[in-house]
Amino acid sequence: MIHALDIAGMVCPNNVFLAPMAGYTNYPFRKMCTSLGAGLAFTEMVSAKGLHYGNEETKSLLYAEHEAPKAAQLFGNDPEIMREACESEALAPFDLIDINMGCPMPKITRNGEGSALLADMPLAEKVIAACVKSGKRISVKFRTGLDEAHKVTAEFARMCEGAGACMITVHGRTKDRIYAGPVDYEEIAAAKRAVDIPVVANGGIWNDKDLKKMFERTGADAFMVARAALYRPQVFCDLLGTEPPPILGLFLEELEETKRIYGEHFACVFLRKMAAFYIKGRPRGNHYKRQLFEAQTTEQVASLAREIFAETP
C-alpha cells in the first residue's frame, strides 16, 4: 500500500502526497509536510495567464528551495499560454507540472478553467497535449464530473493518458459537491482500470483507516492528503507509521521560515490562520483563536503558540 512511486522516471520516496491548496501550500508549509514524510508536495495552483503577463504575485507562489522532487500546479485553458508557462523560467526548477482541471470555485470555473474543462474534453485534451510538448512531465488533477448525472471519470482519464499525461489524480467528488459529501470510490476505481499510468486518489483521507479504505476500494497507486494536513500536519507520520513530533516545534519553525521568505506581515497573518487550524477542537480553542487574531507581530504569535501548545501537545 505504501511504497516508492516512479512517475515517468521521477522517483518519489513514498506514495502519500500533499495536495495543492490555494492559500496554504507555500514553500514553508510544503517543507514541513515533506519533513514529516509527504512523498511529494504541490505548490498552490498558479495562473498560466498570470505568468504570461509577468504578474509578480503569481511568480511568488512558485517559490521553492531544496524540495526534491518538485511539483507545481498550473491552471488555464489556453493551450499555447499553458505551453508557454510550462516552458517558462518560472517553472524550470519543477520536475512535474500538474494541470488543475478540478477546482470547483466560481472565480476559476466562470473563466472556463479548473473543473469547467470537464465539460469541454476536446479543449482539455489540447491543453494537456500542448503542455506535454514542452518536454516537462505533465499530470492532471480532475473531478469525477460536473454533477451526478454527468460523470466522466474513466473517459476523462483515458483522454489524459492519450494526450501524454504521466499521472492523474482523481478527486472523488463532482464539481457541484465542492468539498462536501461522500467520496465516490467506484469512480476512482474506474479511472484506475481505464489507464496504465499512476492514479492518485484524493478525497476524504483523514487517517490511516481512511487511507486503507481508499486503497482497498480503488486500488490507487498513490494517495493525496488535503484538509487533514491543515488541521494536523503530523497526519503524514500517522499514515506512514512514524513517530509524530510535537506541534510547537513544527509551528515555530514554520513561522520563522515564513518570515524569512515572505516577511513579517505575511508571516504574522498566515501563521495566525494556521494556528487556528492546529488548535481546532482542542481545549480553550476559541479563546486562543480570538487572541491569535488580535496578534500584530510574529513575536506575539510565537508567544501565544508557546502558551497554547504547552497546554495542547
- Report the catalytic residues: 103
What distance in Å separates the CA atoms of residue 67 and residue 32, rounded to the nearest whole number?
Answer: 11
H or E segment to which residue 41 belongs: strand 40-47
What distance in Å separates the CA atoms of residue 268 and residue 293, rounded to the nearest whole number?
Answer: 9
Do residues 218 and 2 make contact, with C-beta atoms less than 8 angstroms apart?
Answer: no
What is the SS3 assignment for 171? strand
Do residues 61 and 46 make contact, with C-beta atoms less than 8 angstroms apart?
Answer: yes
Long-range CB contacts (within 8 A, 24+) of 257-261: 257/27, 257/28, 257/31, 258/26, 258/28, 259/298, 261/26, 261/27, 261/28, 261/63
**Rounded to 5°, angle at Cα 149 from 223 and 19:** 20
What distance in Å separates the CA atoms of residue 106 and residue 165, rounded to the nearest whole number?
Answer: 26
Give strand ranges (E) for 52-151. Answer: 71-75, 96-101, 137-143
Distant-in-sequence, close-in-space partners of 80: CB < 8 Å, separation ≥ 6: 130
What distance in Å separates the CA atoms of residue 301 and residue 70, rounded to the nearest whole number?
Answer: 30
